[in-house]
Amino acid sequence: MLSRASFAKHSFRTASTAARYASTKSLRETLQDVIPAKQEQLKKLKAEHGQTVVGDVKVENIIGGMRGLKAMLWEASVLDPLEGIRFHRLSIPDCQKVLPSAPGGTEIIPESMLWLLLTGQVPTPEQTRQLSQELAEKGELPVFVEKLIDSLPKTLHPMTQLGMGVAALNHDSSFQAAYEKGMKKQEYWTHTLEDCIHLIARLPALASRIYRNVYKPDAQLAPIDKNLDLVGNYANLLGYGDNHSLTEYLRLYIALHGDHEGGNASAHTAHLVGSTLSDPYLSYSAALFALAGPLHGLANQEVLRWQLAMQTEIGDNITHENIKDYLWKTLKSGQVVPGYGHGVLRNPDPRFIALQEFCQSRPELRESPIIKLVNKTFEVAPGVLKEHGKTKNPYPNVDATSGCVLYHYGLTEFKYYTVIFGVSRALGALTQLVWARALGLPLERPKSLSMDALEKLIKNP
Ligand SMILES: CC(C)(COP(=O)(O)OP(=O)(O)OC[C@H]1O[C@@H](n2cnc3c(N)ncnc32)[C@H](O)[C@@H]1OP(=O)(O)O)[C@@H](O)C(=O)NCCC(=O)NCCS
């Protein structure tokens, strides 16, 4: 088990952060403070620039999965194709400098990322600690959800189970209950926030119950420790609480992976479903089923499967030439190289780089055969993909390494990896639901066209 020592006894990584961003306000008070200015900003945008053109819609956008279309409002993060993600103007290295870490740790703690995403402000260590405590206090699952998950066949994919569990949690939705009583529009965001906090709090218990049922049916689930942070509890519940490095890795991975703009399939799904005023549980459940697709969240399990197959085929003779041959074999068989390419990025993913740095900081990972293979593949794959000439981005995305680190630390059940991604992505998708309700964003309803209608429009624009 992880240390239960109270947060207060430990100093967080960034003592200077507290000085720079000192505030004693709660999360709700901080949001109350920042929302009016954003509402004003949106009102002004609508009034002064409602008719301003900011881009063209080309036929290739319509038939090309809406790539590049600027068509969604998403407050918490913006993705630059070359630089990567910024969370409220902070790049990943900025976040690593200023966001508090866990007691005894050095990596970003997801609670501090959640606070940043929600409020645009860097929390103090004390605010982070308070949020951790709140999440731990709300972390127990209702008994009926435990029974529901326990009744599912262990052969059912863990992502299906996660989506079902999250949907069932809407039994206790504050938003839904208040809506039925006729709450005012101005109150939407407060009830949405309550649901989002409850949902994030319960994800470790839900996700670890699925893990236990599917892979370790005889294991006892640890109780939630009220003194631990979200990932500290998650690691304990998974049975890896003793592994400090893995717990730190999970904190970093879950924090960094929490949001990646709004257009990716899972975030967009949550946003779309939320725009119907479905509650956060139903909205995020839908998002999880988008995340379960191989071109999206399933990629990390695919990377591991692919790297292990490569390892089996080329054995100990890991040379650039052998890896190159294997890459070409994959491409010639009509498959994509998992972990490479991206819908928006056109450079190596800074999240991949941050995880690589984590690997370099740990001697056991530096020596790990699978991590060595990931590194060697990175030295060769961009060249091969450029020569292949199809992908717009021949560089690695975050999934090129994420699952391989879990594998090294003994969490080898790779069908489960997307569940961890699902725990992470809740931070960003749920943040946006709060903002969508605070800003009163409307029902999403883009216009679709048939090919005939499109041809007609091309002739007579
Ligand atoms: C992420 C991904 C889905 C983005 O798709 P996209 O935006 O359509 O990517 P592109 O515009 O670069 O695709 C153009 C072509 O290159 C191909 N391509 C893209 N990435 C590729 C890869 N890693 N290996 C081989 N071919 C690739 C596409 O399949 C497409 O081929 P097509 O014209 O025959 O359909 C895609 O790069 C991919 O499948 N990567 C592997 C899976 C993965 O790592 N997913 C995790 C994403 S975080």
pLDDT tens by residue, 84-132: 999 999 999 999 999 999 999 999 999 999 999 999 999 999 999 999 9
**Beta carbons of 268 and 120 less than 8 angstroms apart:** no
Nearest alpha carbon, ligand 1 atom 18: 391
Give the long-range contacts of residues 147-151, CB within 8 A, separation 24 or more. 149/206, 149/209, 149/210, 149/213, 150/209, 150/213
Q: Ligand 1 pocket test: pick from 337, 391, 424 the residue with the most ligand atoms within 8 Å of its Cβ.
A: 391
Nearest alpha carbon, ligand 1 atom 19: 391
Task: List the catalytic residue out of 296, 316, 408, 452.
Answer: 296
Encode the chain (461 residues) as per-residue pLDDT tens digits.
333 333 333 333 343 443 345 578 999 999 999 999 999 999 999 999 999 999 999 999 999 999 989 999 999 999 999 999 999 999 999 999 999 999 999 999 999 999 999 999 999 999 999 999 999 999 999 999 999 999 999 999 999 999 999 999 999 999 999 999 999 999 999 999 999 999 999 999 999 999 999 999 999 999 999 999 999 999 999 999 999 999 999 999 999 999 999 999 999 999 999 999 999 999 999 999 999 998 888 888 889 999 999 999 998 888 999 999 999 999 999 999 999 999 899 999 999 999 999 999 999 999 999 999 999 999 999 999 999 999 999 999 999 999 999 999 999 998 999 999 999 999 999 999 999 999 999 999 999 999 999 999 999 98
**Beta carbons of 89 and 61 less than 8 angstroms apart:** no
| First vs last C-alpha separation in the chain | 65
- Count Cα neighbours of 118 within 13 Å in the Cβ-side half-sphere: 29
Whether residue 344 has its Cβ less than 6 Å from ligand 1 = no
The atom of ligand 1 lying closest to the CA of 340 is 23
Whether residue 349 has its Cβ less than 6 Å from ligand 1 = no
Torsion of CA 134, 429, 83, 115, to 10 degrees: -20
* Structural domains of the chain, ranges and CATH numbers in brackets: 299-408 (1.10.230.10)
The atom of ligand 1 lying closest to the CA of 393 is 12
Is 0.85 surpassed by the pTM of this model?
A: yes
Torsion of CA 367, 369, 371, 374, to 10 degrees: 140
Whether residue 343 has its Cβ less than 6 Å from ligand 1 = yes
Q: What amino acid is encoded at 313 in this protein? A: E
